Amino acid sequence: MTNDTKLPDSITHVTLGDRDIYLLGTAHVSKESVEDVHQSVEQLSPDTICVELCDARFKTLRNPENWKNMDVFQIIKEKKALLLLAQLVMTSFYKQIGEELGVKPGAEMMAGCDLADEHKITLVLADRDIQITMKRVWGNLRFRDKLKIMTQMGASLFVSETIDEKTINEMKEKGNIENVLEAFSKEFPTIKRVLIDERDIYLSQKIRNCEGDKVVAVVGAGHVPGITKKIQEDIALDPYREIPKTSWATTFAKWFIPLAIIGVFIYFFTYADTEKFKDAVYIWVVVNGVLSAIGAAIALGHPLTIISAFVAAPLTSLNPLIAAGWVSGLVQAWLKRPTVADLESLPQDISSAKGFWKNSASRILLVVVFSNIGSAIGSLVAFPWILSTFFK
The 10s digit of each residue's pLDDT in 163-219 is 555 555 554 454 444 444 455 556 667 778 888 899 999 999 999 999 999 999 999
- According to the model, what pLDDT value does residue 261 have? 83
Confirm if 40 and 11 have CB atoms less than 8 A apart: yes
Amino acid at 107: A
- According to the model, what pLDDT value does residue 119 have? 93
Cβ neighbours for 243, distance < 8 A, ≥ 6 positions apart: 132, 135, 136, 139
Give pLDDT tens digits for 3-47.
445 788 889 999 998 999 999 998 766 678 889 999 999 999 999
Alpha helices in the chain (DSSP H): 31-44, 55-62, 72-77, 81-101, 107-118, 130-139, 143-156, 165-171, 174-187, 189-192, 198-208, 224-230, 248-270, 274-298, 303-316, 324-335, 340-349, 353-358, 360-390
Q: Which of 33-42, 136-145, 272-281 has the highest mean pLDDT?
A: 33-42
The alpha carbon dihedral of 173, 175, 180, 182 has a sign of: positive
- Residue 145: which pLDDT band, with cuts at 50, 70 and 90? low
Confirm if 385 and 287 have CB atoms less than 8 A apart: yes
This prediction has a pTM of 0.67
Q: How far is CA 366 from the centre of its chain?
A: 14
Phi, psi of 185 (to 5 degrees): -70, -30
Give pLDDT tens digits for 76-86.
776 666 666 66
Give pLDDT tens digits for 205-264.
999 999 999 999 999 888 999 999 999 999 999 999 988 776 676 677 778 878 888 888
User: Among 264, 293, 266, which residue's Cα sits nearest to residue 385?
Assistant: 264
CA 136 to CA 344: how far, in whole Å?
Answer: 30
Length of the chain: 392
> Domain locations in the chain?
4-241, 248-390
Q: Which residues pair with 219 in a beta bridge?
A: 25
Mean pLDDT computed over every residue of the chain? 79
Q: What Cα–Cα distance (Å) separates residue 290 from each residue in 259, 261, 327, 336, 376?
A: 21, 18, 15, 22, 12
Amino acid at 335: L
pLDDT over 90 percentage in the chain: 34
- According to the model, what pLDDT value does residue 88 have? 66
Confirm if 130 and 54 have CB atoms less than 8 A apart: yes
- According to the model, what pLDDT value does residue 336 have? 83
CA 179 to CA 186: how far, in whole Å?
Answer: 11
Q: What Cα–Cα distance (Å) separates residue 253 from each residue in 119, 142, 265, 276, 375?
A: 56, 12, 19, 26, 15
| pLDDT surpassing 60 at residue 390 | yes
**Residue 357: burial class (beta carbons within 10 Å; 0-12, 13-18, 19+):** middle
Phi, psi of 108 (to 5 degrees): -70, -30
**Residue 137: burial class (beta carbons within 10 Å; 0-12, 13-18, 19+):** buried
